[in-house]
Amino acid sequence: MNQHILEIEKLKVSFKKKSEQHIAVNEVSLQVERGQTVALIGESGSGKSITSLSVLNLLPVNGFVESGSIRFDGKELLTYSDKEMRKIRGNEISMIFQDAIASLNPGMKVGIQITEGLRYHNLIPKPDLKSEALQLLEQVGFNNPAHVYHQYPEQLSGGMKQRILIAMAMSCKPKLIIADEPTTSLDVTIQRQVLDLIDQYKTDLSASVLLITHDFGVVAEYADWVYVMLGGHIVESADVYTIFKNPMHPYTKALIGSIPNPSSGQERLKSIQDYPLESVSNDGRRFAPDTYTKESSFFDTPSSLIEVEPLHYVRFYDEERKVTAIG
C-alpha cells in the first residue's frame, strides 16, 4: 500500500481570459499522507482553491490542467473519464465547501440530502437510508436528529448547515476529505466545533484531510504538515512544528508574525513591510502588498524548492541567494 493517499506532482493549471492565458497554479507538488491533516495555506489569489478543485476535476469552465499528475491511492486521476470521476467524487474523496448556504439544495429536506451520496453510489440498501441519515446527524452533533431530518436548509443556522455538509461529506466514508475554507464565514465558537468534528472523523475512520485555509491559527491547531502557497507556487513546506519554530521564507514569517496573539502580549504586530526579505529575494518589490497578489513577471523567474533542513523545503529564486540562505 502506498504511503500517500494523494500525490500531486508538478501540477500546472491555467485560466483563459479572452486571448490571455493566466497561470493560476504553477508546478505545485504536494503529498497527503494517510491519516494526516495537511494544510494548504495562502491568501486570496494564491491558487490554493484551484489546486483543490483540480483534484476532483471541478475546475471552472475556462480553467484547465496543462501538465502534471494527480495520483489518488496510486491511481492517476487526470486520465479518468467523467464517469469514472463521478465514482470517485463523494465516494472516495469528498469536499466541504466554504459556502454552506450555496452548497445545499434549499428545496430538499436535509435528511434526504445527506444520504444522496449513498443513494447515488448504491452503498447501502434503500430501507436502511433513513436510519443511516439519523445516525449521521447524531454524529455531527445534533441532539434531536429525527427533528432535523425533516427540516429544510433555510430553517438551520450557518453552523448547523456546515455540520449538515460535513455529514454529507462523511456519509460515504471517504478516504480523503478536502475542506476548502470550511469555517471562513462562521463565528469563532462554531468554527471550533466544525473543525473538531472534521478532526474527529479523521481519527475515527483513519481518513486524511486536505485543509485549505488562510488562517495560521487553524493550521497550528489541526494540521500535521503545512504547505504555504503564494502566487501559484508552493514557497515553503514542512511539518507544523518546524514551520512555526523556524519559518524560513519571508512570506511565511510575515504570515505567522501578523497574527495578533492575546496570550503572547506582543507590543507590535510584524507586518510584511517589517521583513526586509533578508536572505531570499533580490529586491523588496516582491512583498510590496500590491504586487504579490497580482500576477507579476517576478513569479516567472526560475526558482526551486530546496531542502534546507531534513523535510523542510523553501523556495529560492536564484542560485547565489540559495547559498547565503543556507549558510
Partner 1 sequence: MDNLLLKAQNLSKYFTDSSGIQKAVDGVSLNIYKGETLGVVGESGSGKTTLGRTIMRLYKPEHGQIWFEEKEITRLNEGKLRPYRKDIQMIFQNPYESLSPRMTVGEILEEPLYIQKIGTKKERTDKALSMLEKVGLPRTSYNKRIHEFSGGQRQRIGIARALMLDPKFIIADEPVSALDVSVQAQVLNLLKDLQTELDLTCLFISHDLGVVHYMSDRVAVMYLGHLIELAPKDELYRNPIHPYTKSLLSSIPIADPERRNAYREPIILPEKPLYPPQLIHVGNEHYVSANMINIKEFEINKDEKLMRI
List contacts with partner 1 (CB under 8 A).
43-44, 158, 187-189, 191-193, 196, 214-218, 220-221, 240-241, 244-245, 251, 254-263, 266, 268-273, 289-290, 293
Closer of 38 and 218 to partner 1 (Cβ): 218
One-letter identity of residue 270:
K
Cα dist from 242 to 9, 22, 238, 246, 310, whole Å: 23, 33, 6, 6, 10
Could you say which DSSP state residue 184 is in?
T
Closer of 124 and 220 to partner 1 (Cβ): 220
What's the rounded Cα separation, in Å, for the pair 283 and 264?
32
**Residue pair 235/306 in contact by the 8 Å Cβ criterion:** no
Closer of 198 and 218 to partner 1 (Cβ): 218
Could you say which DSSP state residue 271 is in?
-
Q: How many helices (H) and strands (E) does the chain have?
A: 14, 12
One-letter identity of residue 29:
S
**Residue pair 149/111 in contact by the 8 Å Cβ criterion:** yes
Of 228, 248, 233, 226, residue with least CA distance to 303: 233
- According to DSSP, the residues that pair with 238 across neighbouring strands are 226
Nearest approach, Cβ of 119 to partner 1 (angstroms)? 33
Nearest approach, Cβ of 254 to partner 1 (angstroms)? 5
Closer of 187 and 320 to partner 1 (Cβ): 187
Nearest approach, Cβ of 295 to partner 1 (angstroms)? 14
What radius of gyration, in Å, describes the C-alpha atoms of the chain?
21
Nearest approach, Cβ of 293 to partner 1 (angstroms)? 7
What's the rounded Cα separation, in Å, for the pair 90 and 79?
18
Nearest approach, Cβ of 233 to partner 1 (angstroms)? 16
Closer of 89 and 253 to partner 1 (Cβ): 253
Closer of 82 and 290 to partner 1 (Cβ): 290
Residue located via cell numbers 454552506: 100
Closer of 7 and 181 to partner 1 (Cβ): 181
Q: How many CB atoms sit inside 10 A of residue 104's CB? A: 22
What's the rounded Cα separation, in Å, for the pair 280 and 212?
26
Nearest approach, Cβ of 216 to partner 1 (angstroms)? 5
Nearest approach, Cβ of 247 to partner 1 (angstroms)? 12
Closer of 315 and 322 to partner 1 (Cβ): 315
Nearest approach, Cβ of 227 to partner 1 (angstroms)? 15
Angle at 229 between CA 28 and CA 298, to 5 degrees: 85
**Residue pair 151/161 in contact by the 8 Å Cβ criterion:** no
